[in-house]
Amino acid sequence: MSISLSNKQARQVILHLQGLTLSPHRTLGLEGLSDLILQLGFVQLDSIQWVERAQHMILFARSQAYRPAHLKRLLEKERFLFENWTHDASVIPCCYYPYWRHKFLRHKARLDSKFNDWQGGGYRDHCDDLLTRIEEQGSLRSRDLDRPDTGPQEMWQWHDGKAALEYLWRTGQLCIHGREGFQKVYALAEHGIPTEHYGTTVSHDEFVDWACRSALQRLGFGAAGDIARYWDLVSIAEARHWLENQNKECVELVEVEGIEKDSKQFYGRADISELVDNLPEIPGRVRALSPFDPVIRDRKRLEWLFGFEYRIEIYVPEAKRRWGYYVFPLLEGDRLIGRIDMRAKRKDDVLEVKSLWLEPKVKMSAARRSRLDAELVRQARLGGVNSVVWLEDAIKS
């Protein structure tokens, strides 16, 4: 007999496990930030700084006491985190590095083919020389390399030296030792990953068990595909096999109600009933979420549970965009109430609100406007500007 979760309970489970029931006013500091990232598992990186970069917005949404300098310190001084790939470039606790060794090995063949198709095979000739150079110098940036004059390049096309650095990083031979702005500084992995994590290995079975178990702990409930996609470490077939071989002490069958009252059966954490019985209240404030927030990332799951259709339109031609180049979902309590097109214009010292769209049946009451205004002040502070400016006719019907 499976456990049943109402749609509201399901949404609250997700938001709680993803750190959005934490008190946004609490003092965070380095220890609190470390605990938060361990809870999330990873934080996705992105270079676009429309208000702030994605990693900072993700963490700020969970605590307004978050400071970007603390993340930099955990990466570059404390060596608590390392950069590599989940489904995309992310910061990950170093204690998980032994599991990433399996990702490096199993994805090397795929990356060989991908880089050959994408960049051509010339990068291979640089790998050994770059490893020797980095060992001698201690670190290296792509801009330290001689770049051949090959004429105009496509947006994501790299010269062979840059491609070699990225290949060596993605296959675990290099690590990101630091960043200058958003420029990567590469070092040998054994010099950048703490010895106790770099020197630890786990078996294949331990790797699969950890990848599936830790994903389910953070999802609350899910199908094999949800579990495989969380870290992008194991295949759907491996996740399905793991689920089918767990007993009730590890997983429970859960019937989950969607936003349209249709239900689906998932595998849930063994303690899902206890988790639901002890869910804390979700702060009622309005929060702007990064397009790369873990709550937003799985678009199909998001739409089914929250009734919120979302896609990022940075690669969509302007004339074909429905919303805008870089639009932020707005969370109020346990509901996604709309989306906002805003940007920190640092030269003008303002957070400019270009457009706001509320979801159907969501009205702009005085209380909601007050909560939204308070969030915009917080976003302005995060973006390093002093005031908020609304453009004319910004609120859309």
What is the C-alpha to C-alpha distance for residues 216 and 242, in angstroms, rounded to an integer?
Answer: 11
pLDDT tens digits along 317-363: 999 999 999 999 999 999 999 999 999 999 999 999 999 999 999 99
Mean pLDDT of 256-283: 95
- CB neighbour list of residue 53: distance below 8 Å, 6 or more residues apart: 45, 46, 47, 182
Q: Name the residue among 362, 174, 178, 374 with its Cα closest to residue 286.
A: 374
Binning pLDDT at 50, 70 and 90, where does residue 155 land? very low
pLDDT greater than 70 at residue 2? yes
pLDDT tens digits along 22-70: 888 888 899 999 999 999 999 999 999 999 999 999 999 999 999 999 9
For residue 45, the model assigns a pLDDT of: 96
Q: Are 288 and 29 in contact, with CB atoms under 8 Å apart?
A: no
Burial of 380 (0-12, 13-18, 19+ CB in 10 A): buried
- Higher-confidence residue: 148 or 167? 167
Instruction: Read off the tokens for 29.
Output: 């500091």
Binning pLDDT at 50, 70 and 90, where does residue 117 land? low
Assign residue 270 a region: left if phi > 0, alpha if psi is -120 to 50, beta otherwise?
alpha
Q: Which helix (H) or strand (E) holds 390?
A: strand 387-390
Binning pLDDT at 50, 70 and 90, where does residue 112 land? confident
Strands 251-257 and 3-5: parallel
Query: What mean pLDDT, rounded, does the chain reach?
Result: 92
Mean pLDDT of 168-176: 94
- CB neighbour list of residue 212: distance below 8 Å, 6 or more residues apart: 227, 234, 238, 239, 242, 243
Q: What are residue 166's phi and psi, to 5 degrees?
A: -65, -40
Type of residue numbered 51:
V
pLDDT greater than 90 at residue 134? yes
